[in-house]
Amino acid sequence: MKKRQLGASDLLISEISLGGMSLSTDKKQAASIVDMALDAGINYIDTADLYDFGVNEKIIGEILGNRRQQVILATKVGNRWTEGVEGWHWDASPSYIKEAVHASLQRLGTDYIDVYQLHGGTIEDDWDGIIDTFEGLKKDGLIREYGISSIRPNVLKRFLPASHAKSVMMQYSALDRHPEEWFEFIVSEGASVVTRGTVAKGLLTNSWQQRLQRSNGFNSYTAEELTATLTELASHYDDLHALALAFNLKEPVIASTVIGASSQEQLAQTLAAYEKIDAIVDFTAVNKLTKQEQYREHR
């Protein structure tokens, strides 16, 4: 498993990383996937305090145990559960971030977080306060680096130039190319992209035909456009799963692509696809067949 530098940091993270959100709350089942990922050379695990009311962090922390030092651990903050109220609300206040980081540290069973990410953001947020808070957490040794999970251009333009953020988590795939417009800007600010949604809800895997039957389109693709696009892609590329990974990782700005797995079989499929990406060197067809769109909102 190759590794890449996360922005201008000292962190080297695996090109494929494990997304915690898909892990079972059954510790034994989750452990089988985490163990398999570590054995394959994956060293970056991404979770959030939001997932399963914090249970996801707790399970990952317990599974890692004394292997914590082997892993670059990332989690997120900003979506706040309110006891007795359904759902959550956005809270990026400095006071809540300081409170939440200690709760995450306790659940994860560690005394530091490698990459602490703001789990969203709006242009109305107190960005000076947020940045000062992250910088303070870094100075105190509670976090090593920080970043943001956001696809909003106006938020990125406000946050990155004013901070020392090293990562931007964004949904990006051959079927969702909106972020490409901002890759050069992100690099210029000393950050890397960590992608989510790389396999587009399974549409960019070798189960694409079955997924199509349960899909009524994807993003701006109508059902008819999606069928035509995937059929054409499959005629040009032998393995759509491998293509999905290769398409993202061909971009130097992308440090890693986060892939979720709810079973060892799913993780095995991703690892097998990863072994094939070096053989994919011609992206002419996929660039031509897919839409290169730009964000219309939050500019």
Catalytic residues, by residue number, are: 51
- The b-or-e profile of 84-94 (16+ CB within 10 A means b, else e) is eeeeeeebbbb
Structure-block tokens of residue 285:
């067809």
Structure-block tokens of residue 70:
């082997």
- The b-or-e profile of 174-210 (16+ CB within 10 A means b, else e) is bbbbbbeebbebbbebebbbbbbbbbbebbbbbebee
The neighbouring-strand residues paired with 13 are 4
- Between CA 295 and CA 182 the distance in angstroms is 10
- Between CA 238 and CA 234 the distance in angstroms is 6
At 6, is the secondary structure helix, strand, or coil?
coil
DSSP secondary-structure letter at 65? G
DSSP per residue, 217-266: -BTTB-HHHHHHHHHHHHHH-S-HHHHHHHHHHTSTTEEEEEEE-SSHHH
Contact 75, 44 (CB under 8 A): no
DSSP secondary-structure letter at 200? G
DSSP secondary-structure letter at 173? B
Question: Can you say whether the dihedral through the CA atoms of 207, 211, 212, 217 is positive or negative?
Answer: negative
DSSP secondary-structure letter at 163? S
Structure-block tokens of residue 10:
């000292």
